[in-house]
Structure 1
């Protein structure tokens, strides 16, 4: 019988079952139901799903717009590329100003920074956190959700400027969350609030700036609980240029960076060949370089700094989320641009924006069995 299979073979079989079908499997076998809820199996299942995701033309993204969180479907088929809003996520019931994705878990931060919630949209079980430190006035703190490989647990990092680094430990055995201040030497760089961080291999990466120098890459290692050294980007640039960071989908363990000089309509996207907390190697050639001079949307040159994007490495297609500020098209619209390697540009209207300064923030999403507690 299937239920009598050795544990390692059972894990291998279950890891190949799509998440949407696992509920039926759980109800058919008590042993498999218990195994599928194991945290180690949940990670194994996620890694297999990530590897298979890269071959799919359709994938899901989570987009924060106007302080709400939406699930959207993206189709990059050769016949017709499109982005469709699937649903508005009813949890969390707060106005969200930051969303951070790691292993199928979402970290959402309330607009006033007084509440945090980590949850799995697939299971709908939220873990609420109320920080001890609550600013008297709105400050732009930065947040990241990561994974500690030594303790096999998830953690949240919060910091403001180069001071007050706070860690929230999510206890995997209970709903308890502990808060502590990290003893970190103030770094010689800073991350501006519009540069959203990304998660890769359980660590968090940001674009940072040292005084008036060029942008660099910095990583926080959640296992060692420290920042690595400043890492170089593959191009020279100026403060007014647009630079944005993303993760190459498909579980390949690569970062991508978008670069657009402020005075041109040329967009470049570079991809790492190797990335660790303390070192980075970039591909010798740019993955995508597109001149948009011939497009019918020249306003693309006014990309907001920090605009989020995705890249399909195989098709060499980029999707950029932004706002359209053209006064001829008022009211302001939330917009996505699909850019092909041949220079074509397709604009997708995501609806009217009720908050002009709230730039859409998008992150790739893959459903998982992982629970925050």
Structure 2
């Protein structure tokens, strides 16, 4: 059913909440809508079976967007989930198997007894097999893009909604490296309301990059060549998409004493590569890690043995908007001086979730203390996602579901 564009979205949802086969509802329809918008996805999936009107309401794109917006802005992270990769032994083909686990993000930030991590659930992700490893490409609006190694040196890409347990396998990109490797990213282009997967292969000798872009809206890959001279992007990270721009940490002067980190970007709207200007750091030896906190681009600058500064770019693209969020002092425990990747910050700004080496750490700025919360597994990589009803299927195939 196509919604009437002239109708108010709330009126549309309220009208759909009424079942033509029933009499007047005992609860006002606007109250029904408000209640449903606050429910977790698992409950909404059950509610779709209550009656035709609820099924129609919960399946409506406007309701899905409203529910996503409300869940995203929930300040206590009740609808947010931490998803992370772990190593399992013994190894297969000479390498450990990497699998996925999830747990509630609020519990991770505030559970001092570590029960959330200790009770984390292993996820039944697409194409899961005891000999298949998996890596996280990125997450956006409740969708997670993963790469599953089904055969040696052969990975399949999936767009997957862990909350609804629906997934879509992307056709092969056919992207052959013109340089050393291919890095991937996943994000949302709000201007066209479409999700995109990007496979980028840089060639610094020619100052260009081959880019293949998959659009979930039309279900096709396309190939372009763009100007590129921003260093070697890290194939281990492609998780950052803010305001329709993908970002990777990259290195220049690779293998030389002048090696330094840059932040390379790919704009999903303009389909161009660029470089993000960084804050002015203090002098001295340092290590940089890229992350995202809320809607901000984030850099953690570690001065070995001294402290780590957490910077956020509050107005993307404006260098002067870089703000130092917190300085984490060096604590005299060897592993705590290791550079870390920021994952999440609490709404009050007091708790910061990070990956350090193979551990998950919560730093409490109020008490100037950090707590190791990852005890049972070796954490390889992680990201957060918000529960949503967003479909991972190409728009052209939704009519068949």
Question: By the TM > 0.5 criterion, same fold?
Answer: yes
1:75 alignment partner, one of 88, 96, 108: 108
2:346 corresponds to 1:364: no
2:58 corresponds to 1:17: no
Q: Give the structure 2 partner of residue 187 of structure 1.
A: 229
Q: Give the structure 2 partner of residue 272 of structure 1.
A: 313
Q: Report if the CA contact (8 A) 1:64-1:70 is conserved.
A: yes
User: 1:180-226 CA distances to partner (integer Å, 9 max, x unpaired)?
Assistant: 21231223333122444312234322223444474343332222222
What SS is found at the alignment partner of 2:64?
A: helix
User: 1:47-75 CA distances to partner (integer Å, 9 max, x unpaired)?
Assistant: 111111x2347952010122211102343
Q: Report if the CA contact (8 A) 1:195-1:244 is conserved.
A: no
What is the aligned length?
340
Label 1:318 to 1:23 Cα distance change in 2 as closer, same or farther (>3 A): same
1:90 alignment partner, one of 124, 135, 150: 124
TM-score, structure 2 normalization: 0.73
Q: What is the Cα deviation at residue 178 of structure 1? A: 1.4
Q: How far, CA to CA, are the matches of 2:180 and 2:123 in structure 1?
A: 26
1:230 alignment partner, one of 270, 276, 279: 276
Q: Report if the CA contact (8 A) 1:70-1:86 is conserved.
A: yes
What SS is found at the alignment partner of 1:5?
A: helix
Q: Give the structure 2 partner of residue 121 of structure 1.
A: 162
Q: Report if the CA contact (8 A) 1:214-1:236 is conserved.
A: no
After TM superposition, list the pairs within 5 Å mapping 1:286-325 onto structure 2: 286-293=324-331, 295=332, 297-303=333-339, 307=341, 309-323=343-357
2:70 corresponds to 1:39: no
Q: Report if the CA contact (8 A) 2:145-2:158 is conserved.
A: yes
What SS is found at the alignment partner of 1:27?
A: coil
What SS is found at the alignment partner of 1:287?
A: strand
1:27 alignment partner, one of 49, 55, 70: 49
Label 1:281 to 1:26 Cα distance change in 2 as closer, same or farther (>3 A): farther
Q: Give the structure 2 partner of residue 327 of structure 1.
A: none
Q: Report if the CA contact (8 A) 1:72-1:83 is conserved.
A: yes
Q: Give the structure 2 partner of residue 205 of structure 1.
A: 247
User: 1:166-189 CA distances to partner (integer Å, 9 max, x unpaired)?
Assistant: 1112236xxxx3122123122333
Q: Which runs of 5+ in 2 are unaligned?
A: 1-10, 18-29, 88-97, 204-208, 394-401
Q: How far, CA to CA, are the matches of 2:355 and 2:196 in structure 1?
A: 28
What SS is found at the alignment partner of 1:363?
A: strand
Q: Report if the CA contact (8 A) 2:142-2:388 is conserved.
A: yes
Which structure has the larger Rg? 2
Q: Report if the CA contact (8 A) 1:76-1:82 is conserved.
A: no
Q: Give the structure 1 partner of residue 206 of structure 2.
A: none
Q: How far, CA to CA, are the matches of 1:128 and 1:63 in structure 2?
A: 20
Q: How far, CA to CA, are the matches of 1:68 and 1:308 in structure 2?
A: 21
Label 1:140 to 1:236 Cα distance change in 2 as closer, same or farther (>3 A): farther
Q: What is the Cα deviation at residue 20 of structure 1? A: 3.2
What SS is found at the alignment partner of 1:76?
A: helix
Label 1:24 to 1:226 Cα distance change in 2 as closer, same or farther (>3 A): same
Q: Which runs of 5+ in 1 are unaligned?
A: 324-333, 354-358
Q: Report if the CA contact (8 A) 1:203-1:222 is conserved.
A: yes
2:174 corresponds to 1:165: no
